[in-house]
């Protein structure tokens, strides 16, 4: 662990804000991104924590992202909230829309949020957890750039297209899963490439279309969906929800944009449901707990999200550990001594 440096969550948050503001982000955009990055570090989701900061900065420096964008909220239909991110980062646009989305879902039972023209680089569990903490069931999807081959194909077309889902619980954090529809998240393949470690079989194919465990070859070739055609169908659904339904880019269209190593332009679709408005009068939280207890009774199981929640206690106590070269790079981007 000699190449890792211990930091408090407050230090992580301050460093990210500093790096973004030093490169032209407004304090409010920088704060929203720093919050998301710090949450990822808090839960030890390294591929969406500090690792992403050089990319965020690159997209400010290239001018692709408007670091001073002010998201604009609208309500195009009685159950639909829309946020135009104005080409800023996704976290502030999501913060802008989630409160109104939750209010609407409590009122109508079902509501959707369309975040458009944002630059997304983060995990999706923060938004669905926010909804579940407000007593709602949340679902979120976003597309990306072409990285994943459709079933049977050898050329990338879909993004790694994550799906996140959260369900409220009694007196404890929500159950939430958040997963790429690719066999492995892009960030994890990049980390394997940086550390020259092979990826498992089934993660991707090289530029020649042949299966490979070389992460660099996968990055140059195509990732594969999880579960073959089943994961590919989920990736397709994500493209349709986050592209066609909300009126934003498909991954293959976003891939034509500026390649600066930062987050691509695209949208996010978020759905919120209030089970209390479904007219059955049953204690739906208790019903869910019955199912969770049945799962826990089977040896070897855990609920999705349990790893992250357990990590919170650890990082609150011990802080996080950041890789020294990455930290030096971010400090340099922030204009701080390394």
Residues labelled catalytic: 47-48, 188
Q: Does 129 bind ligand NDP (CB under 6 A)?
A: no
CB 114 within 8 Å of CB 127: no
Q: Does 308 bind ligand NDP (CB under 6 A)?
A: yes
Min dist CB 160 to ligand NDP, Å, is: 4
Three-state SS at 228 = coil
Q: Does 259 bind ligand NDP (CB under 6 A)?
A: no
Phi-psi region at 231: left, alpha or beta (left = phi > 0; alpha = psi -120 to 50):
alpha
Report the largest interatomic distance among the alpha carbons of the chain, rounded to a whole angstrom. Answer: 60
Min dist CB 122 to ligand NDP, Å, is: 5
Q: Does 254 bind ligand NDP (CB under 6 A)?
A: no
Pairing of strands 80-84, 72-77: antiparallel
Min dist CB 116 to ligand NDP, Å, is: 15
Q: Does 185 bind ligand NDP (CB under 6 A)?
A: yes
Q: Does 180 bind ligand NDP (CB under 6 A)?
A: yes
Q: Does 230 bind ligand NDP (CB under 6 A)?
A: no
Pairing of strands 204-205, 4-7: unpaired
Please select the residue that binds ligand NDP; options are 23, 96, 130, 142, rule is CB under 6 A: 142
Of 60, 137, 146, 58, the residue nearest 102 (C-alpha): 137
Shorter beta-carbon distance to ligand NDP: residue 18 or 267 = 267
CB 8 within 8 Å of CB 41: no
Q: What are phi and psi of 221, to 5 degrees?
A: -100, -110
CA distance 83 to 93: 6
Min dist CB 3 to ligand NDP, Å, is: 23
Please select the residue that binds ligand NDP; options are 46, 66, 129, 178, rule is CB under 6 A: 178
Identify residues 16-55 at the interface with ligand NDP (CB under 6 A). 48
Q: How far is CA 94 from the centre of its chain?
A: 12
H helix runs in 134-271, sequence order: 186-194, 215-220, 229-239, 251-254
Shorter beta-carbon distance to ligand NDP: residue 115 or 164 = 164
Binding span for ligand NDP by CB under 6 A among 114-122, 126-134, 194-202, 318-326: 114-122
Shorter beta-carbon distance to ligand NDP: residue 130 or 160 = 160
Q: Does 307 bind ligand NDP (CB under 6 A)?
A: yes
CA distance 19 to 337: 12
Binding span for ligand NDP by CB under 6 A among 29-37, 119-127, 206-214, 285-293: 119-127
Shorter beta-carbon distance to ligand NDP: residue 23 or 142 = 142
Shorter beta-carbon distance to ligand NDP: residue 84 or 188 = 188
Q: Does 173 bind ligand NDP (CB under 6 A)?
A: no
CB 176 within 8 Å of CB 125: yes
**Nearest residue relative to ligand NDP (C-beta):** 123
Q: Which residues pair with 6 in a beta bridge?
A: 321
Of 56, 47, 52, the residue nearest 20 (C-alpha): 56
Binding span for ligand NDP by CB under 6 A among 8-16, 117-125, 215-223, 280-288: 117-125
Shorter beta-carbon distance to ligand NDP: residue 41 or 188 = 188
Three-state SS at 193 = helix
Which positions ≥6 away from 111 have C-beta within 8 Å?
79, 80, 81, 101, 104, 105, 271, 272
Q: Which residue has the tokens 């049953």?
A: 282
Give me the residues that bind ligand NDP (CB under 6 A), please.
Answer: 48, 120-125, 142, 144, 160, 162, 164, 177-180, 185, 188, 302, 304-308
């Amino acid at each position: 662990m000699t190449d890792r440096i211990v930091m408090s969550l407050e230090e992580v948050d301050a460093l990210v804000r500093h790096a973004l503001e030093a490169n032209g982000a407004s304090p409010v955009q920088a704060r929203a991104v720093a919050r998301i990055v710090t949450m990822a570090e808090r839960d030890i989701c390294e591929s969406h924590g500090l690792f992403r900061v050089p990319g965020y900065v690159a997209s400010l420096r290239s001018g692709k992202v408007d670091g001073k964008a002010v998201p604009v909220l609208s309500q195009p239909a009685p159950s639909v909230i829309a946020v135009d991110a104005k080409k800023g980062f996704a976290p502030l646009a999501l913060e802008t829309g989630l409160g109104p989305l939750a209010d609407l879902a409590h009122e109508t039972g079902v509501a959707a949020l369309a975040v458009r023209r944002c630059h997304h680089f983060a995990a999706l569990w923060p938004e669905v957890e926010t909804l579940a903490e407000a007593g709602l069931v949340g679902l979120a999807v976003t597309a990306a750039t072409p990285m994943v081959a459709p079933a049977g194909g050898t050329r990338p077309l879909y993004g790694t297209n994550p799906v996140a889902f959260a369900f409220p619980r009694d007196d404890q954090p929500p159950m939430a899963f958040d997963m790429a529809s690719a066999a492995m998240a892009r960030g994890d393949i990049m980390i394997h490439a940086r550390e020259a470690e092979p990826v498992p079989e089934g993660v991707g194919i090289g530029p020649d279309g042949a299966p490979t465990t070389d992460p660099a070859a996968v990055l140059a070739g195509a990732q594969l969906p999880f579960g073959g055609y089943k994961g590919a169908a989920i990736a397709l659904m994500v493209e349709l929800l986050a592209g066609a339904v909300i009126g934003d880019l498909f991954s293959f269209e976003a891939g034509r944009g500026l390649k600066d190593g930062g987050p691509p332009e695209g949208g996010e679709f978020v759905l919120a449901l209030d089970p209390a408005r479904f007219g059955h009068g049953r204690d739906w939280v208790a019903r869910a707990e019955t199912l969770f207890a049945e799962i826990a009774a089977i040896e070897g199981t855990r609920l999705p999200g349990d790893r992250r929640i357990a990590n919170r206690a650890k990082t609150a106590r011990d802080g996080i550990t950041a890789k020294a070269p990455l930290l030096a790079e971010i400090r340099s981007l922030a204009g701080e001594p390394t």
